Chains A and B, each alone.
Chain A
Amino acid sequence: MSDYTIKVVEGKYKLSGDFHTIEPNKPILDTAGKLCGITNPRNMVYTHSYGGEAPFFAGITKGRLIATRCDNKDCKDSYESVFLPFRIHCPDCLERTTEVDITDIANKSARVYTFMVCERSGAFNTLEKPIRFVNIEFEGVTTILMSYLLGKQEPKIGMKVRPIFRTKSPTYTITDLAFVPAETAEKDLPAGFTFSK
């Protein structure tokens, strides 16, 4: 594992420590010992900006669900449309949207639009398998958020669900937001997760 720290200081990234480790290449031989190729191991750390979406990712670590709304009265297609995934700019008029806290709406109205139970994952996965992907509809939101379902119940189309938040030791990724069946009790939530705050 690389040992590094990074901060934004006066609008610039300040990096210290190791951002990559070097491992030697190894030859790939056939059974007769003939050289066929070479391995290229690599271990790197990227520095990625959340930019204007940072309020959403900060919000879920604090137990709040932040969406955005187009408040441009001249926007023919999307005036007053609420977007989640959060859109920094309205996809139609491209004006900057307004952040809106939809936590209470989500608590009351979240439903499974569709789902998929996935036995496999890719490398670097951090979620427990099988992963229960759910796509969530909220009242008054024009889009259908992708997330995952925790708890004992299997997902169903139309199922009422509630958002939960990894407020204890968050990862600061989208995995800090999950959903559980609406009737789940607080004491039954998975470790690290709480209801909205």
Chain B
Amino acid sequence: MITFSKRQLKIPKFARDVYLVTGGNSEFRRAFPEKRTEELCIDALQESARYIGMTAAELKKYIHTCYYGHFADHFGDQLLGEAVIHDRLGLDPLGTIGVKTGGATGGSTIWEAAKAVASGYSDCTLAMGWERMDEVPTDEGNHLISCAADKDWETPLGHIYTGYYAVMAQKYWQVYGREEESFRRTLAEISVKNHGYAYHNPFGHAGFKITVEDVLKSPVVAYPLRALDCCLMSVGASCVILADKETAYQMCKNPLLVYSTAGSHTLRPACRRDMDIPLLPNETGETYKNLDREFPGGERYPGFTGFLAARMAAYYAYNWARIKDPSEDLDVVELHDAFTISDVQTYEDIGIRPYGKGRDYVESGDCYHTNPKTGKPGRLPANLSGGLIGCMHAVGATGIMQVVDVMYQVHGRHAEIHGDPERWKRYGKQKPKDWEDLQVKGAKRGLAISHAGVGSHVTCTILMQPDARLDK
């Protein structure tokens, strides 16, 4: 579709407000030879119960329907894995359904669980996501991921998803990045930042302190992307509990308002057609008047340089939640940093910077917890969990983990959870002596983007303290 009807552009709304009550994660690792998937899911559910001072048994009594996200049946070699988990969580005979939208599965699972509460069907829902990516060797894993591309038109071409995905990175690199060494270093800075933040996150499995030079010296995966520009492949689980207002306040003292939206675009990048840029509230026609002159080669929109699905998810969410400018109205974001370059593309898609100017979000220091240029708090800190590059990418869990981390921030409990020495010990890790508190002071509103592969599905979840809502 290249033009939209008014009905299609309708600003979404819930029939009643939906609140996030709690959430939790398992630990994430590259492989868990000693744990079944259900053990990880139970870890996540128990975490979310503890977070609001309940036992898992008490929490379960509130749940009315369940939404399970795991991307790839063939990764875990278990069809209807959702039913296995549902049974092991002891939630039978409640209604349940599986959700799969590739890399956006976690976000989509929350979208579904939220709509069930909003409609009144359920007063309390569980959204749980996981992925089991350690049952096949890496090259077979690459084949399995490539099956998420078009099996006739793309998959036979190398059986490697990177090939279908990174063509977009190349286009962005050449058109908007102008192949500049300085831009290459900016990309590396994102990896340094996210691995660096993951260093303080006990849940993650690639927290370490590296330099821009380390990233630039890491092996080329698909030029200009190098190994340290890429996300992790992980095993683990995350969940959130959503409820209507009355139920939410019975369960905890400070539930958070939830807005959740979704967009989509062609599964095959090949099918992208030219269209006008849909504008966000902080943009006007003027914003892009000179775009193709400033960046020759960027005349097609979204071409291969932007993600229309992300733009639409932001369009729906911002207009609904009355976010005028994400940098002004939000305090913290978690973006789907599958690759450093797609992270920059997302800054533009969701209006943190206009198209073509994404790199400035990093170069200005705005994306940091503490702006390295000024020593002051970053304007809109991004991926303080470490994101997909530093913390984890257990596909079905990823979008939920990011919402959970935003929840810690908006509750002001980030340090309590991430800094707990017992947790570090439980995961067999040493809490770093130079551990840092990454709580964003006074955070009231946060956003998480969940994104599938070449941008076929993207969701946007916004959490707010109820007294910070902008739409009433």
Query: Which residues of chain A have a CB within 8 Å of any CB of chain B?
Result: 28, 30, 36-37, 40, 48, 50, 53, 57, 76-77, 81, 83-85, 87, 91-92, 113-127, 131, 133, 135, 142-148, 157, 173-175
Question: What residues on B are CB-neighbors of A113 within 8 Å?
Answer: 171, 304
B244 at the interface (CB under 8 A from A): no
Whether A118 lies near B153 (C-beta < 8 A) is no
Q: Which residues of B (408-444) have their CB < 8 Å from a CB of A? A: none
Q: Given the complex of chains A and B, what is the CA–CA distance between A36 and B34 in angstroms?
A: 7
Q: Does B181 contact A (CB under 8 A)?
A: no
Q: Can you give 22 contacting A-B residue pairs, CB < 8 Å?
A: A28-B33, A30-B33, A48-B151, A57-B152, A85-B150, A92-B1, A115-B167, A116-B162, A116-B166, A116-B167, A121-B139, A122-B141, A122-B143, A124-B143, A125-B159, A131-B158, A133-B163, A133-B166, A142-B274, A144-B272, A146-B154, A174-B156
Closest A residue, CB atoms, query B151: A48
Q: Which residue of A lies closest to B2 (CB)?
A: A77
- Whether the Cβ atoms of A131 and B160 lie closer than 8 Å is yes
Contact at B145–A122, with CB atoms within 8 Å? yes
Considering only residues 115-174 of chain B, those with a C-beta below 8 Å from chain A are 137, 139-146, 150-154, 156-164, 166-171, 174
Identify which of A116, A120, A135 gathers the most chain B CB atoms within 10 Å of its CB: A116
Residues 21-75 of B contacting A (Cβ, < 8 Å): 33-34
* Interface: B294 (CB within 8 A): no
Given contacts A127-B158, A148-B157, whether A115 and B270 have CB atoms under 8 Å apart is no
> Which B residues are closer than 8 A to A by beta carbons?
1-3, 33-34, 77, 137, 139-146, 150-154, 156-164, 166-171, 174, 220-223, 268-274, 297, 304
Interface residue SS majority, chain A: loop
Ordered nearest first, which 4 A-B pairs have the shortest CB separation? Answer: A122-B159, A122-B142, A122-B143, A114-B171
Q: A123 with B159: in contact, given A36-B34, A115-B167, A144-B304 (CB under 8 Å)?
A: yes
B143:A123 contact, CB within 8 angstroms: yes
Q: How far apart are the CA atoms of A76 and B3 in the complex, in Å? A: 10
Would you give the shortest CB distance from B312 to chain A, in whole angstroms?
Answer: 16
Contact among B34, B143, B156, B164 with A133 in the assembled complex (CB-CB below 8 Å): B164
Determine whether the beta carbon of A116 is less than 8 Å from that of B2: no
A122 and B146: CB pair below 8 A? yes
By a CB distance below 8 angstroms, the chain A residues around B159 are 121-125
Within the assembled complex, what's the spacing in Å between the Cα atoms of A72 and B340? 43
Would you give the shortest CB distance from A160 to chain B, in whole angstroms?
16
A116 touching B152 by the CB < 8 A rule? no
On whether A85 and B271 interact (CB within 8 A), knowing A53-B152, A123-B140, A124-B143, the answer reads yes
Task: Report how far A131 CA is from B158 CA in the complex, Å.
Answer: 7
Expressed in whole angstroms, the Cα–Cα distance for A43 and B220 within the complex equals 33
Task: Say yes or no: A77-B3 contact (C-beta < 8 A), given A115-B170, A118-B162.
Answer: yes
B222 to nearest A CB, angstroms? 5
Central interface residue in B33, B156, B168, by most chain A CB within 10 Å: B156
| Cross-chain contact of B168 among A114, A118, A143 (Cβ < 8 A) | A114
What residue of chain B has the Cβ atom nearest to residue A83's Cβ? B271
A118 touches B271 (CB 8 A): no
Picked from A53, A81, A120, A142, the residue with its CB within 8 Å of the CB of B160 is A120
Tell me, rounded to whole Å, the shortest Cβ–Cβ distance linking A81 to chain B: 8
Q: How far is the CA of A32 from the CA of B69 in the complex (A)?
A: 36
Closest A residue to B149 by CB, please name it.
Answer: A146
Cβ–Cβ < 8 Å partners of B273 in chain A = 81, 142-143
Take A135-B269, A146-B268 as given contacts and tell me if A174 and B153 are in contact as well, using a CB distance cutoff of 8 Å.
Answer: yes
B157–A175 CB distance below 8 A: yes
Let me know if B167 and A135 touch, CB within 8 A.
Answer: yes
Once A91-B1, A116-B166, A145-B270 are accepted as A-B contacts, the answer to whether A121 and B158 lie under 8 Å apart by CB is yes
**Cα(A174)–Cα(B155), bound, Å:** 9
Interfacial chain A residues near B150, Cβ < 8 Å? 85
Cα–Cα, bound, A119→B160 (Å): 10
Residues of A close to B33: CB separation below 8 A: 28, 30, 36-37
Q: Given B137, B154, B162, B171, which contacts A174 in the complex, CB threshold below 8 Å?
A: B154
Q: How far is the CA of A190 from the CA of B159 in the complex (A)?
A: 21
Give Cα A145–Cα B221 distance, bound, in whole angstroms.
23
Checking B2, B151, B222, B268 against A118 with a beta-carbon cut-off of 8 angstroms, the contacting residue is B222
- Alpha-carbon separation in the docked complex, A133 to B161 (Å): 11
Are A114 and B221 in touch, CB under 8 angstroms? no
**Chain A residues, Cβ within 8 Å of B146:** 122
Nearest residue, chain B, Cβ from A146: B270
Q: Whole-angstrom distance from the CB of B83 to the nearest CB of chain A?
A: 19
Name the one of A76, A133, A157 contacting B157, with C-beta atoms under 8 angstroms.
A133
- B129, chain A: closest CB distance, angstroms: 23
Q: Which residues of B contact A145 (CB under 8 A)?
A: 270
A115 to B268 Cα, complex, angstroms: 15
Besides A48-B151, A117-B222, A135-B270, 5 more A-B contacts (Cβ < 8 Å) are: A91-B271, A119-B221, A126-B156, A146-B154, A174-B156
Determine whether the beta carbon of A119 is less than 8 Å from that of B269.
no
Q: Given the complex, which residues of A lie within 8 Å of B268, measured CB to CB?
A: 85, 146
Which residue among B143, B159, B161 has the maximum number of chain A CB atoms within 10 Å of its CB? Answer: B159
A146 to B77 Cα, complex, angstroms: 30
Q: Is the CB of B297 within 8 A of A116?
A: no
* Residue from the list B141, B143, B145, B222 in contact with A116, Cβ < 8 A: B222
